[in-house]
Amino acid sequence: MTVHALHTSSTTDALQQVKVHLAAALRMAVLDGFDEGIDNHFTACVPGRPDQYFVLPFGLHWSEARASDMMIFNEAGQTLEGRGVVELSAQSIHAPLHRLTGARVVLHTHQPWATALNMLQDNRLLPATQTAAFFHGRIAYDDTYTGLASSLEEGERLAALMGDKTVLFMKNHGVVAIGDTVAQAYRRLYKLEKACQTQILAMSTGNALNILSEEVIERVQKPSGADRHPRGERERLYFEANMRILDRTNPGYAD
């Protein structure tokens, strides 16, 4: 069994790890049904170079993403390393989000359940499940779809809306999840989709949702000293488990 550890000991290892994890996350997104073929974007800061970003060259299907495919671009849209040209909306959305929020990883999708919720006039994710409670107070909302992103000003607008939140709901569009690591950001994206799915399924019954109290939400969100698996370890274990699935079903992302 192939094991791709989440720990590094050098800059070279850190660079390779980010590329491997980004390629793995793209393939995971296909398995989870989050992708739109070659569209949407996952980016990560190049270790030691916070103003440069890894991205899969436009035109490659997410299911075929490899670490060696990852190109590096900057906010001006220049390809600094690798082959390919960064897609305009990736440059416009992701570079300002990285710069202004400080996020090391920015994941943007049109995943179905989250996007379905964002099609509604009232698109708020309600704290009616344990999973949704983790997101309470941590989601920013862009209630004005402005069309295709084609300028850095649009990314700056989105970053201003996002502030210190970890998720951005984009009405009539999709979602963004950010994180310090690929594992953290992708787990947020996955958990978000599950929370949106269960809310829409519950709403479809026509019955009122039972919203959790602020007291319960606070208990859910507060780290427990008795927890044998702290949040960071859960993110690591989740991502490693998904890489093992890829090793069995769609290997080659680490090439």
CA R_g for the chain: 18
Q: The domain that contains 227 carries what CATH number?
A: 3.40.225.10
Across-strand partners of 215? none
Give the count of alpha carbons within 13 A of 20, CB side only.
23
Rounded Cα distance between 108 and 117, Å, is: 16
- Provide the number of structural domains found in the chain: 1
Asked, for residue 230, whether it belongs to a domain, the answer is yes
Asked, for residue 253, whether it belongs to a domain, the answer is no
Asked, for residue 48, whether it belongs to a domain, the answer is yes
Across-strand partners of 177? 107, 167
- Residue 126 DSSP symbol: P
Asked whether 126 and 209 are in contact (CB, 8 A), the reply is yes
Asked, for residue 5, whether it belongs to a domain, the answer is no
Domain of 211? 11-245
Q: Are strands 41-46 and 105-109 parallel, antiparallel or unpaired?
A: antiparallel
pTM of the model: 0.93
Structure-derived torsion over alpha carbons of residues 87, 90, 92, 98, reported in degrees to the nearest 10: -140
Q: What is the pLDDT along the chain (255 residues), one digit of tens a residue?
A: 344 555 445 778 999 999 999 999 999 999 999 999 999 999 999 999 999 999 999 999 999 999 999 999 999 999 999 999 999 999 999 999 999 999 999 999 999 999 999 999 999 999 999 999 999 999 999 999 989 999 999 999 999 999 999 999 999 999 999 999 999 999 999 999 999 999 999 999 999 999 999 999 999 998 766 676 677 789 999 999 999 999 999 999 999
